[in-house]
Structure 1
Amino acid sequence: MTTTSPRLRALPSRLLSQAATHSDRLVSDGLAQIGARKWHYAVLATLADTGPASQAEMSRRTGIYRSDMVAVLNELERDGYAQRVPDPDDQRRNVITLTKAGTKRLHELDAVLADLQQELLTPLTATQREQLAALLTQLVDHHDGRHDRDPSSA
């Protein structure tokens, strides 16, 4: 059995990286079992939460590169979860909307992700989970350039 150096175990950046790798694998594998990907969830949840948007706006809202967004939307549209319709204000661009089937799929994905979150965070209490989410939100917001935000609102 290999023992990790105490110096390595004390590095938050290393621990975050290891936790992120485990989390990414767990979520990716869990979603793959039902024919979904993380980006599917990101698009469906964003459409449900913020409403229809152009492809470029969806890319900004989700952080998915524009070139990758096209492939994700092709998959979601193929499966009937989202649709692209010409923007009535600008026929050169499309507006992405969530379909009824997409709403149903989002609820399925929410349930799967809730189970995966439970599995990932099993060793933590409910209070620790809330603290972890708040601290990670604070870190992400800071490094995304939103550090001027009130930390108590995270």
Structure 2
Amino acid sequence: MSVDRELHVATSIRGLPSWLLGRAAARGRALVAEHLARHDIKLWEHAVLSALSDLGEISQAELGRAIALDRKDVAGVVSGLEGRGLLTRAPDPRDRRAVIITITADGKRLARQCARAGADANEQLLADLTPDERARLVDLVTRVARVDGEPTASST
């Protein structure tokens, strides 16, 4: 394939919604990661603390399902956060095989700081949009991503 042909193929995908959504997601993740790094926290650590702030104490398995993270990866993130005193793990008195995760006061404080950092990153991401455009974008992306609980084609 000639260089000219390769360039055309590479640029022809730039108008596809899938490519554009991927680029927007990558930019958003990078901005959030940059803002979270100021608090010495990573994206998945933030997701865990945020989920615990929202859901309260929860089993480690339920936590993984809530944030769509593999159980082995959840265990690693939880272990790191526990080592920093941001959450605790304890055996579930109802099921000795299960572990209950609870966010600590320091974890809650950091989760609030990270929520503000995430909001600042999203403000930067959407700075060129009006409030109405932002609301419309969130509505459209929610529908496309099917994050509202709607079944996807692969689950039907």
TM class, shorter-chain normalised? Answer: 0.7 to 0.9
Report the TM-score when normalising by structure 1: 0.85
TM-score by length of 2: 0.84
1:89 aligns with one of 82, 88, 94: 94
Secondary structure in 1 aligned to 2:90?
Answer: strand
- Whether contact under 8 Å (2:32, 2:117) holds in the other structure is no
Return the alpha-carbon distance in structure 2 between the equivalents of residues 130 and 111 of structure 1: 19
Q: Percent identity?
A: 34
The CA distance in 1 between the partners of 2:104 and 2:38, in whole Å, is 22
User: Cα RMSD between the aligned structures?
Assistant: 2.4
Is contact 2:36–2:117 with CA below 8 Å preserved after alignment? yes
- Residue 103 in 1 paired to residue 108 in 2? yes
- Which stretches in structure 2 are left out of the alignment for 5+ residues? 1-6
Pair member with larger Rg:
2
| Residues 144 and 11 of structure 1: CA distance in aligned 2, closer, same or farther (over 3 Å) | farther
Q: Paired residues, what number?
A: 146
Higher RCO (C-alpha under 8 Å, 6+ residues apart): 2
Ranges of 4+ aligned residues in structure 1 off by more than 2 Å: 2-5, 7-10, 142-148
AA aligned to 2:110 is: R
Q: Which residue does 1:32 correspond to in 2?
A: 37
2:4 maps to none
Using a 3 Å threshold, how does the CA distance of structure 1 residues 145 and 18 change in structure 2: closer, same or farther?
Answer: same
